[in-house]
Structure 1
Amino acid sequence: MLFVGDDWAEDHHDVELQDETGRRLAKAKLPEGIAGVTRLHAIIGEHLSEDDDATQVVVGIETDRGPWVQALIAVGYQVYAINPLQVARYRERRSVSGGKSDTADAHTLADMVRADRHQLRPVAGDSDQSEAVKVVTRAHKTLIWEQTRHMLRLRSALREYFPAALAAFADLTAPEALELLAKAPEPASAARVPLTRILAAVKRARRHHAAVKAEAIRDALRADHLGQPPVVTTAYAAMVRAQVAILTTLNTEIKALQEQVRTHFGRHPDADIYVSQPGLSAVLGARVLAEFGDDKTRYASAKARKNYTGTSPITRQSGKRKVVLARHVHNNRLIDAVGLQALTAIRASPGARRYYDQLLARGVGHRAALRQLGNRLVGVLHGCLKNKTIYDEETAWPNLTERPEHAAA
């Protein structure tokens, strides 16, 4: 077998080729793209016999996506995506000086897949449909995070010179708030906005009790507050106009991408299983599917799926000391989605609610209880995906679900 360590950068790859004894057969700096991949295949081909095939080549690289990785998988190489933290710790086995170079990292990666690939995770063989769901859901979530960042910047600016706007608009990303702030970003001009214009903006946002809400906004904008000198107010107003324009665009693109998420997710064969889970809507279910992938061999058990999620605890034991802690290294997007699922599930599932209440009764805090509930829900999802069945409340919570006749008794 041949073992390749690939330390990648944006425009090149440092690679090292080893045999089964760890002897270096070749090393090179290859350009990104077709020319680089072609050269890599040529280097590997020089050391493969006629009877060997591509599966005899094992590649270690610090990423699991991109055209380069897809090209390696397409040929038939065994590709292992290795966490950079693992590479850093493995590097320390050979040297504690702290020295680092790209060629040394390529050597380390080759050593890892040669000696310890049984403890590493190969790149998942997810379907193209799953990859498409991942692309749109990650883009959608990233825009939501950007929306939150710009909303907080807008809020900070308004607090400095226009506190009346914070009193008038509970949600600064709402359409009526952005429309009115774009037209009147200064306290004086906002106080002169007629009720009819405010009412029109509220109606365009399709709010219930539009007249009442319009009057509340008008009164808040006309209330007396501390302010800034005119020249400073003008400067802040220019900043607010820019933030409002960005948020308006983000709102439009988030809505458009959300439709793409629903469309791609709806085409996936496991979509019905995901949306049957308590707390998972089409959008949230798409996020969970995107991060788990759909490779049937990726998770050997429910425990493996829970460990990947980051909801299962870790144990640290030394002598008589034993501590159980929450995992801090995890997929941020996945743990966020599962946490939202758990929060929603306590309102949608009687079994989930009772499990959550039992944890609280034992003295477990709210966040820890949600994490444990999320861990349980991941196990339920794993069983449904494995057996190709939709969620069933009594099967999921056999000892927790209180049936109506028992409740009445």
Structure 2
Amino acid sequence: MLLVGDDWAEDHHDIEAQDETGRVLKRARLAEGMAGIARFHDLLGRFVADDAEASEVLVCIEVDRGPWVRALVAAGYRVFGVDPKQAARHREILGSSGAKSDKGGAHALADMIRTRRHQLREVAGDSGIAEAVKVVTRAHQTLIWERTRHMLRLRVALREYFPAALAAYKSLDLTSDAVLRLLVKAPTPEAAAKLTISQITACLKGRRGIPDKAAAIQDVLRAEHLGQAPLVTTAYAATVKSLVAIITVLNSEIKTLQGEVEAHFGRHPDAEIILSQPGLGVILGARVLAEFGDAPGRYASAKARKNYAGTSPITRQSGKTKTVQARFVHNDRLIDALHNQASCAILHDPHVRAYYDQLKARDISHNAALRQVGNRLVGILHGCLKTGSIYDQATAWSHHDHDLAA
């Protein structure tokens, strides 16, 4: 068996190959790309018997995706993607000086796979459909996060020089087309005060109760408010126009990517099972699929899936002290999707609501209760995927209902 540590950078990989006794067989720096992966195969081939299988080569690397990892898996090597924090802790075991280098990183990874592979998770390849869903859902969510950041910058700018806008448009979303059109037409208090009812109405096209809203907006914009000097106001208006332009483009691209998410997710064979879960629609369902992946056998049990999700608690015990805490190291995208699922599920599924109410009756906070609801829903999802069955309330909550009756 050959143990390989692969310390990767953007344009190269430092590798170290060891035998099962820890003896270093080869160190090398390989370029990223086809030339590098070809040399990787050539170097390892010198230390593997002709009749040996590629599965006898174990590779440890601080990433679990990308073209390089895909090429290693395709070649038949067993690849273990480790968390950078795990790798850093193992480096501390090997030496306490704090020194760090690419060569040292490769050595630590090789030693890690040699001594602790029973504790590491092997990379299991997701299907092409699941990979595609991950790409578009992550891009879609990233653009939403970017829009939120720019919206907050827009709010800060308006508060500094044009507080009347925040007061007038408080019933509207700052990222909505209506508000963006109004800010383009009138980016300063002076221009906004001159807006007519017909101009405001045109910007509110598609909304309900337009006449009343238009009149209310005009009244606020024409009232007296604190402001800045004319020159400063002009400078702020220029920045607001730029932010409005960025948010407008983001709105368009988010809508486009939403269509891609729906199309890719709809092709996945597990889409029906995922959509049957309480609190999951197409977008949230796609995010859950993308972050969990669909590689068979990746999660040995419901507990393993919950641990990866970060919804299951961790216990810290030392002597007579014992505490149970939430997991703070987790996949942010997945935990966000599961939190939103739990929030929606308690509104639409009576069994989920009953479980949530039971938790609240024990003086558990809202967020902690949602986390426990999410943990339960992850277990239900695991069972449905394992058996290939859609969500059934009676089956999913039979044990819980028995507990309540008792």
What TM-score do you get using the length of structure 1 for normalisation?
0.96
Q: 1:299 to 1:236 in 2, by over 3 A?
A: same
Matches within 5 A, 1:334-373: 334-373=334-373
Q: Verify the 8 A CA contact 1:137 1:290 in the aligned structure 2.
A: yes
> What SS is found at the alignment partner of 1:38?
helix
Matching residue's letter, 1:180:
L
Taking the aligned partners of 1:3 and 1:113, their CA distance within structure 2 comes to: 7
Output one character per residue of 1:272-322: Cα deviation in whole Å (capped at 9) or x when no partner.
Answer: 011111100000000000000001200000000000000000001111111
1:67-96 Cα offsets, whole Å, 9 max, x none, are 111111110110110100000101111111
CA deviation after TM superposition for structure 1 residue 395, in Å: 1.4
Partner of residue 302, structure 1: 302
How much has 1:220 moved relative to structure 2?
Answer: 2.0
Partners of 2:267 and 2:217 lie apart in 1 by: 43
CA distance in 2, matches of 1:194, 1:274: 49
Alignment RMSD (CA, Å): 1.2
What is the aligned partner in structure 2 of residue 45 from structure 1?
45
* 8 Å contact kept, 1:90–1:108: yes
**CA–CA distance in structure 1, aligned partners of residues 199 and 275 of structure 2:** 41
In 1, Cα distance between equivalents of 2:269 and 2:221: 51
Give, in angstroms, the shift of residue 44 of structure 1.
0.3
Aligned to 2:6: 6
Per-residue Cα deviation, 1:201-237 (whole angstroms, up to 9, x for no partner): 111xx21112222222222222211000000000000
**Residue in 1 aligned with 2:245?**
245
Aligned to 1:93: 93
Alignment of 1:153-302 (within 5 A): 153-170=153-170, 171-203=173-205, 206-302=206-302
Q: Matches of 1:350 and 1:401 in 2, distance apart?
A: 12
Q: Counterparts of 2:294 and 2:399 in 1: how far apart (Å)? A: 30
Deviation track 1:155-179 (CA, whole Å, cap 9, x = no partner) reads 0000000001111223110100001
* Unaligned ranges ≥5, structure 1: none
Q: Which residue of 2 aligns with 1:121?
A: 121
Report the secondary structure of 1:116's partner residue.
Answer: helix
The answer as to whether partners of 1:12 and 1:31 remain within 8 angstroms in 2 is: yes
Counterpart residue type for residue 96 of structure 1: S
* Contact 1:6–1:60 (8 Å) recurs in 2: yes
- Residues of 1 paired with 2:216 and 2:390: CA distance? 46
Indicate conservation of the 8 Å contact 1:315/1:323, yes or no.
Answer: yes
- 2:66 corresponds to which residue? 66
- Which structure 2 residues correspond to residues 373-384 of structure 1 after superposition, within 5 A? 373-384=373-384
8 Å Cα contact 2:5-2:106 kept in structure 1: yes
The letter for the 2-side match of 1:113 is: I
Q: 165-174 or 124-133: which moved more? A: 165-174
The number of residues matched between the two structures is: 401
The one-letter amino acid of 1:256's match is T
Contact 1:354 1:401 in 2 (8 A): no
1:29 Cα offset (Å): 0.9
1:379 and 1:223 map into 2 onto residues whose CA distance is: 56
Query: Which whole-Å CA distance do the structure 2 matches of 1:380 and 1:135 have between them?
Result: 26
> Cα offset for 1:150?
0.2
> Runs of 4 or more off by more than 2 Å in structure 1?
399-402
Give, as a single letter, the amino acid of the residue that structure 1 aligns with 2:103: T
Q: Any idea what the Cα deviations from partners look like across 1:358-404, whole Å, max 9, x if unmatched?
A: 101001000100000000000000000001111111111225569xx
CA apart distance, 1:124: 2.1
